[in-house]
Amino acid sequence: MAADAAGLEAKLAEVEGRFEELTRELSDPDVLSDLGRYRDLAREHAELQEVVDAFRAVRALEARVAEARSLLDDPELGDLAREDLGQASADLAEAEARLRSLLTPRDPLDRKNVILEIRAGTGGDEAALFAAELLRMYTRYAEQNGWQVEVLSSATTGIGGIKEVVALVRGRDVYSRLKFESGVHRVQRVPVTESGGRIHTSAVTVAVLPEADEVDVQINPEDVRVDVFRASGAGGQHVNKTESAVRLTHLPSGIVVSCQDEKSQHKNRARAMKILQARLFEQHQREADAARSQERRSQVGTGDRSERIRTYNFPQNRVTDHRINLTLHRLGEVLEGALDPVVDALTSHAQADALGRGEGGQV
């Protein structure tokens, strides 16, 4: 932070000024009567509150460090000052790291909910079983973060596996925590279906799509062909008697979405439209990213679901994220939803990469 102290101080002064301005605006009767405007200002205020609090904590710790240093030669307080200096210096380093993190440019999509898609890849029944385990892992992680998970569409196998599942994950900053999960997840273990005890390698693909609002994606109803059909699989008597399943085909892009989990055709159509919006939004984002320089793409990976990102090795109790060469011998904990060590490492790597490209110092 000392490298550009003057510029940083100016930036933080600007943040404090904006924060105070927002505080005043939020008490304005005209703002209070406009729910949409109030919501937007309150969100910005809450984000800046974190930066301001972190900055003030750094200031307080800098003062504490300076005071401790001034007392080092005091015959009565020197020992206490040295002890306090060590603790205050450690706290200051941690506070500065937090402030740098908050000042790193945020992905504008970070606040969004997520459409999570998990599909069994190579490996047959074993891949489908692991797909079910990944869904459970993400569900547990969501519970720990106070998020809600709603399965929008699913296709299961007879032995408890999942061929494909699409779920909506709602909560605070969901995309910011899950966006690096897109890609191929590889599992190495002895399958329950294998009697010979040989280790097999299977794969599951994960896609994390930011939930699209109507303002994000405008879909012309004339561009969507709607087909209804009878649902297949478990689900009660309505399966064979009611055309409740819905298939949406977006003609310009060729994207096809089917939903049949609900008994109501209306609900299936609404769910399918939500998935279609998310996939179109992702397509637009990919096209925008491709138009930008390759140098601006994060080294933690492109988010391409064809890219192998992680291996879960059961015999060695090991989880390895190949993008940042992170290895944890805590496989059981990770599969129970303890994903923070992996997510934090990926996030820190992405932030360091952004700062290294000279994109820091923004809010």
**Domain at 310, CATH number:** 3.30.70.1660
Based on the fold, state whether residues 147 and 177 are members of the same structural domain.
yes
**Contacts (Cβ under 8 Å, ≥6 apart) of 196:** none
Domain with residue 35: its CATH number is 1.20.58
Which of 290, 311, 332 finishes a domain? 290
Which of 103, 135, 156 finishes a domain? 103
Q: In this structure, is residue 335 part of a structural domain?
A: yes
Q: In this structure, is residue 298 part of a structural domain?
A: no
Q: In this structure, is residue 295 part of a structural domain?
A: no
Report the phi/psi class of residue 160: left, alpha or beta, with left for phi > 0 and alpha for psi in -120 to 50: left
Based on the fold, state whether residues 210 and 92 are members of the same structural domain.
no
Burial class of residue 213 in the structure, from the number of CB atoms within 10 Å of its CB (0-12 exposed, 13-18 middle, 19+ buried): exposed
pTM of the model: 0.67
Based on the fold, state whether residues 39 and 149 are members of the same structural domain.
no
Q: In this structure, is residue 77 part of a structural domain?
A: yes
What pLDDT shows up at residue 214?
Answer: 65
What pLDDT shows up at residue 312?
Answer: 97
Based on the fold, state whether residues 209 and 234 are members of the same structural domain.
no
Q: In this structure, is residue 347 part of a structural domain?
A: yes
Domain with residue 251: its CATH number is 3.30.160.20
Burial class of residue 268 in the structure, from the number of CB atoms within 10 Å of its CB (0-12 exposed, 13-18 middle, 19+ buried): buried
Based on the fold, state whether residues 227 and 210 are members of the same structural domain.
no
Q: In this structure, is residue 316 part of a structural domain?
A: yes
Total structural domains within the chain? 3
Q: In this structure, is residue 283 part of a structural domain?
A: yes
Based on the fold, state whether residues 21 and 129 are members of the same structural domain.
no
Based on the fold, state whether residues 178 and 308 are members of the same structural domain.
yes
Based on the fold, state whether residues 99 and 8 are members of the same structural domain.
yes
Based on the fold, state whether residues 149 and 76 are members of the same structural domain.
no
What pLDDT shows up at residue 167?
Answer: 94
Based on the fold, state whether residues 244 and 125 are members of the same structural domain.
no
What pLDDT shows up at residue 339?
Answer: 96
What pLDDT shows up at residue 289?
Answer: 65
Which of 267, 290, 313 finishes a domain? 290
**Contacts (Cβ under 8 Å, ≥6 apart) of 281:** 209, 210, 212, 216, 217
Q: In this structure, is residue 26 part of a structural domain?
A: yes
Based on the fold, state whether residues 26 and 150 are members of the same structural domain.
no
What pLDDT shows up at residue 7?
Answer: 63
- Residue 252: give the domain boundaries: 221-290
Based on the fold, state whether residues 135 and 182 are members of the same structural domain.
yes
Please give the average pLDDT of every successive group of 10 residues along the chain, which has 363 residues: 60 85 90 85 86 90 92 88 91 86 76 92 91 97 96 88 93 92 94 77 93 78 88 53 83 90 85 89 77 44 67 96 95 96 91 61 35
What pLDDT shows up at residue 3?
Answer: 45
